[in-house]
Amino acid sequence: MKNWLITGASSGLGLLMTRKLLARGDKVVACVRRPASLDELYAHYGERLIVCCFDMTDTPAMRDALTVAFTACGRIDYVVSNAGYGLFGAAEEISDAQIERQIATNLTGSIQLVRAVLPWLRAQNGGRIVQISSEGGQVAYPNFSLYHASKWGIEGFMESVAQEVKPFGIDIVIAEPGPTATGFGQGLDHATPLAVYDETPAGEVRRAIASGAFDIKGDAERTVDALIKVVEMPQPPFRVPLGSIAYHHLTASLSARLQEIERQREVACSADRD
C-alpha cells in the first residue's frame, strides 16, 4: 500500500485518481475546498481516505493541513499537485481580479505546495512530486494567455526545483495532458468578451468552445491510468505528454522552436565577448 496526497481531489483527474487509488487499496490524502464533496468516498473507504480542507491561495492553512496529513500518514510516497482551473478570454478582456486569482491558484498555490512538502519529503529520505500541468505548459492557444502563463511558469519552477532536490531522493514528474473530457471547459472562468475580437483567432476559439467543435480526444479514465503507471515507474520521465493531441502539438511546437533557434546561431554567437 502506498500513500498519496492529491490536491484538487473533488473533481476531474484528481477525483478519478483518488477513486482508482482507493479502489486498489492505497491510502489517499485528498485536498479539497469543500470536504462534503468526498463524503460518499469517505463513507466507503473510511480511514484510508484523509480529507484535508484548504484553498490553494491560503498558504498558512495549506501548511497546517499538510502537517496533519504527514503526521497522520507517517510517510507520503507521492504528492500530486493537481488543483487549478482555466481562465478564458483574450488578454485585453481579462479583469485584474481574474488575473490575480488565476496566478494565485495555479502558479503561486502550486509553488507554495511544493515548498511546504519539501521539508517532510527530505525528512523521510525521499518521495515523488507530480505536477499536473498541461500541453498548455509548452504550447499556447488564443484566449488562454493567463492560463498558459501559470502553466509555463510552474513548469519552469519545477525544472529548477528538480535539480535542487535530486540529492535528497526526491523525484519530480510533470504531466502534460492534452484536451481531455474532464469537465475542464465547464469550470472555465470567462472574461467579458469584446466585439473587436470576434473576427480574430480569439473569436474563433471562443466559438469552437461554445459550439463543442473544439477537438477533445483525451479520455479521462485512460489518462489517469497512464499517469499512475508512469508515476510509479522506478525511473519515470521528467515530462510525460498524455493524449495524442498533446503528443503531436508538443513535438510540432518544440521542433519549430528548435529550428527557429538554429537559424539564429550567428546572431546568438555574435553577442559573446572576444
Sign of the dihedral through C-alpha 40, 184, 181, 77: negative
> Which amino acid does the sequence have at 60?
P
* pLDDT surpassing 80 at residue 186: no
**pLDDT tier at 185 (50, 70, 90 boundaries)?**
low
**pLDDT tier at 187 (50, 70, 90 boundaries)?**
confident
Phi, psi of 78 (to 5 degrees): -135, 130
So where are the chain's domains?
Answer: 3-244
What pLDDT sits at residue 196?
96
For domain 3-244, is the CATH number 3.90.1570.10?
Answer: no
**pLDDT tier at 208 (50, 70, 90 boundaries)?**
confident
pTM of the model: 0.93
What pLDDT sits at residue 267?
96
* Rounded Cα gap, residues 266 and 272, in angstroms: 11
Of residues 112 and 212, more confidence is placed in 112
Using alpha carbons, list the distances in angstroms from residue 69 to 5, 35, 45. Answer: 8, 15, 17
Which of 98, 172, 100, 186 lies closest to 130 in space, CA to CA? 172
> Which amino acid does the sequence have at 187?
G
* pLDDT surpassing 70 at residue 109: yes
* Rounded Cα gap, residues 173 and 162, in angstroms: 9
What pLDDT sits at residue 137?
96
What pLDDT sits at residue 216?
74
**pLDDT tier at 158 (50, 70, 90 boundaries)?**
very high
* pLDDT surpassing 80 at residue 102: yes
Average pLDDT for the chain: 94
* Rounded Cα gap, residues 75 and 155, in angstroms: 26
Which of 25-29, 185-189, 212-216 has maximum average pLDDT?
25-29
Q: Do 188 and 86 touch, CB atoms closer than 8 A?
A: yes
Q: What is the pLDDT of residues 210-261, one digit of tens each?
A: 877 777 777 899 999 999 999 999 999 999 999 999 999 999 999 999 999 9
Q: What is the pLDDT of residues 32-74, one digit of tens each?
A: 998 888 989 989 998 899 999 999 999 999 999 999 999 999 9
